Amino acid sequence: MGQKIQAIRGMNDILPQQTPYWHKLEAILRQLMAAYGYNEIRMPIVEKTQLFKRAVGEVTDIVEKEMYTFDDRNGDSLSLRPEGTASCVRAGIEHGLLYNQEQRLWYMGPMFRHERPQKGRYRQFHQLGVETFGIATPDVDAELILLTARLWKALGIDDSVVLELNSLGSNEARANYRDALVEFLSPLKEQLDEDSQKRLQTNPLRILDSKNPEVQQLVADAPKLADYLDTESVEHFARLRQILDANGIVYKVNQKLVRGLDYYNRTVFEWVTDKLGAQGTICAGGRYDGLTEQLGGHATCASGFAMGIERIVALMEEIAPIEISDADLYLVAIGEDAEISAIQVAEQLRTELPQLRVRNNFGGGNFKKQFKRADKSGAQLALVIGEQEVKDKQVGVKFLREHKEQLMVSQSDLIETIKQILNL
C-alpha cells in the first residue's frame, strides 16, 4: 500500500453529511439576494498581490502574515484572495460598473488565509460577500443589516445572534482620533503587550479590540471615538439607527468595534454569536467610501459585508439541525427480471416526480439485506418488486417510517399513489 496523502491543514473537505446544510444556506441566500434586487458577480480566486496590499492595507494582519503569496512562472507576485471586496472593486473599476451608477452585488466562494487552524478558523474558508456602490446614504447600510437579519430568521438561528454597531466617522475624524489615541497610549507603551506595542505605530485603532484583558483595562480610559466624530457622520449614524429601530432590529453600540481592515469609514457592524466559542463573529461589514478611489477608480461611495459560511453552517448544526437522508424512495428488487423492472420504474418516477430522490438497490441481496439498505437510506417508502409483481405489473409499497399495512398497487397507479402518500 502506498503512503496516504492528507489534505492541507486548515483546508477542509465538506462531506456528504454537511452538504445539505450548504445547499440549504446557498438556496436561501440566492433567493434573498434576488428579493432585495442584488446581482451576482464572480471574480477569480487569484489576483495580483498588489491589489490586496493596497486595498486591505500593508499593515493589517491579513497582508502582513496571512496571505498565500507566490511568484507566477513569469515572475509576477500573485496571491490567493484573502477576501472578496478588493477583487469586487477591482472588477467594478475594470468593467466600468461603478462610475456614475449604482450597483448592488454579491458573490460567494472560497477565501484563503494562512491562520492557525482551529474551530471556526480555517485556511480555506468560504464567504458570502455583498457590496453596494454609488449610494452615500445610511438607508443602504440599514438594508444590508435588514437582509442579514432576514437570513438568520430563515435559517432559524435568529435567537442566537446579536448585532453590534459603531461609527468610525470620516477619514479625517478617524485620523484625529488616531492621534489622540496614540497620545494617550504612548506613555503607557511599556504596559502594552507586544502586539499592541507594534500596533501603536502601525494600526493603533486595532488596540481597542485587543483580546488581552490587561490591554482592555488600559484602553478603558482612552479617549472615545464617538467624541471625535464629524457632524455628518453623527447624522449618518443617527439616521441608520432610526431606520433599524423602525424595523425592530435590536443592536448594541460597541464603541470598540473598529474592524481589522483599513478601508472602513462611518458605519461598521458585526453579527456575533456566543454559541461557537472564541470564533463568534459570523458576519462583518461596513462603509468603505474611499476604497474605489484608492484603487484607481473615480470616488464612489460603497457599503458591504462578508459572512463566514463555515461558522453559519456550524451554528445551523448546533441550533437548527436538519434531517438528513439519502433518498425518498428505495426500490427493492428480488430476481433478475425484477431488477430490470425496478430500474424502469425508477426511471419513470424520476421523469414524473423529479423532485423526489429515488435510489435503486444494486448488487442483489435477499429481502432482509435489501430492506436494511432501504432503511439506512432514510427513505420514506420502499417499493418492492419480485417475480410475481413483474408478472402482474404491480409494485408493493412499504411504509418505512410509519406503522401501516403494505399496499399492492398496479404500476399504472404508482405515481398517483405516491403523490397522495407524500402529499405532493
**Which residues bind to ligand ATP, rule: CB under 6 A?**
83, 113, 115, 120-122, 125, 127, 260, 279, 281-284, 306-308, 310-311
Which residues, including other chains, have CB under 8 Å from residue 74's CB and lie 6 or more apart?
none
* Count of CA atoms in the C-beta half-sphere (13 A) of 186: 7
Residue 279 Cβ vs ligand ATP, minimum distance, rounded to whole Å: 6
Residue 257 Cβ vs ligand ATP, minimum distance, rounded to whole Å: 11
Give whichever of 115 and 195 is closer to ligand ATP, judged by the CB atom.
Answer: 115
Residue 314 Cβ vs ligand ATP, minimum distance, rounded to whole Å: 10
Long-range contacts of 66-71 (CB under 8 A, 24+ apart): 66/113, 66/114, 66/115, 67/112, 67/113, 67/114, 68/112, 68/113, 68/114
> What is the distance between the alpha carbons of residues 344 and 324, in angstroms, rounded to a whole number?
27
Give whichever of 115 and 387 is closer to ligand ATP, judged by the CB atom.
Answer: 115
Give whichever of 120 and 386 is closer to ligand ATP, judged by the CB atom.
Answer: 120
Give whichever of 165 and 349 is closer to ligand ATP, judged by the CB atom.
Answer: 165
Q: Do 95 and 301 touch, CB atoms closer than 8 A?
A: no
Residue 163 Cβ vs ligand ATP, minimum distance, rounded to whole Å: 13
Residue 264 Cβ vs ligand ATP, minimum distance, rounded to whole Å: 10
Type of residue found at 328: D
> What is the distance between the alpha carbons of residues 336 and 342, in angstroms, rounded to a whole number?
10
Residue 21 Cβ vs ligand ATP, minimum distance, rounded to whole Å: 15
Give whichever of 12 and 360 is closer to ligand ATP, judged by the CB atom.
Answer: 12
> What is the distance between the alpha carbons of residues 252 and 389, in angstroms, rounded to a whole number?
66
Give whichever of 33 and 111 is closer to ligand ATP, judged by the CB atom.
Answer: 111
* Count of CA atoms in the C-beta half-sphere (13 A) of 151: 29
With both helix axes pointing from N to C terminus, report the angle between 138-155 and 231-246 in degrees, rounded to the nearest 10: 40
Please provide residue 131's backbone torsions phi and psi, each rounded to the nearest 5 degrees.
-135, 135
Q: Do 269 and 163 touch, CB atoms closer than 8 A?
A: yes
Classify 148 as helix, strand or coil: helix
Which residues, including other chains, have CB under 8 Å from residue 404's CB and lie 6 or more apart?
none
Residue 286 Cβ vs ligand ATP, minimum distance, rounded to whole Å: 9
Residue 77 Cβ vs ligand ATP, minimum distance, rounded to whole Å: 21
Strands lying side by side in the sheet with 251-253 = 39-40, 103-112, 124-133, 302-308, 281-287, 265-273, 161-167, 251-253
Which residues, including other chains, have CB under 8 Å from residue 397's CB and lie 6 or more apart?
381, 382, 383, 384, 406, 407, 408, 409, 414, 417, 418, 421
Give whichever of 122 and 288 is closer to ligand ATP, judged by the CB atom.
Answer: 122
DSSP 298: -
Give whichever of 257 and 353 is closer to ligand ATP, judged by the CB atom.
Answer: 257
Give whichever of 124 and 417 is closer to ligand ATP, judged by the CB atom.
Answer: 124
Residue 13 Cβ vs ligand ATP, minimum distance, rounded to whole Å: 15
Residue nearest to ligand ATP (CB): 308
